[in-house]
Amino acid sequence: MEPAEKVSAAVDPAAANKSLACASAEERIHWAAQQFGDALVLSSSFGAQAAVMLNLATRVIPGIPVILIDTGYLFPETYRFVDELTERLKLDVRVYKPELSAAWIEARHGRLWEQGVAGLEAYNRLVKVEPMRRALRETGARGWLAGLRRVQSSTRQTLNIVERQNGYVKICPIADWTDRDVHAYLTKHDLPYHPLWHQGYVSIGDFHTSRPLTADLTPEQTRFFGLKRECGLHESRDGSDI
């Protein structure tokens, strides 16, 4: 067993959640840094409020690897947002892509995202889950910081600060933050929302499965046509996905 794996196995999520329950987000990131050292990464979709976690993590751990999964179908605004935040926050962005190009996937399988829940799940496995699995493996990660929050959706209401997922320990330092907390942090540090936030997008992923929030939709229905909420990276708590 490698040293980083020993550290990962030694972490007791239940004990960690108890000790970190009243800690600040910065203290939680410090804890993760102490536990995992160079085997700690941050994942980011560079979505609506991504600047919060990117700023928090890099203030505590300058140069932490930031994993971005480029599905090939991100909004043009997202790619420009990545460039903007990379330059501003001096990010070490590691871009991972599907093994096949978007055109090749469509040639083989058609538009999977238009083929119901089964198609969406197959699509997510190809363009998101597999590249993320490869990213974690190639970066040598054992600890994984993510910007998930409990108020984002019904699927995240029971989210823990520390969870184990298929050999990795996932830490969500802002799990208990409200939208008000996020806005206050962005304002305090003069950080931007994703450009599409101002056009009504509250959850931003691929352009073909993200819609702006309107009066006839709930926030969860703005992704994946309301058929599902999660993309596969964070659905499983027992490690079956990543």
Q: Which residues are marked as active site?
A: 231
45 near 69, Cβ under 8 Å? yes
The answer to whether the beta carbons of residues 134 and 124 sit under 8 Å apart is no
Residue located via tokens 């993200």: 210
Angstrom distance (rounded) from CA 52 to CA 206: 21
What is the Cβ-side half-sphere exposure of residue 5, based on CA atoms within 13 angstroms? 5
The vertex-195 CA angle with 233 and 112, nearest 5°, equals 40
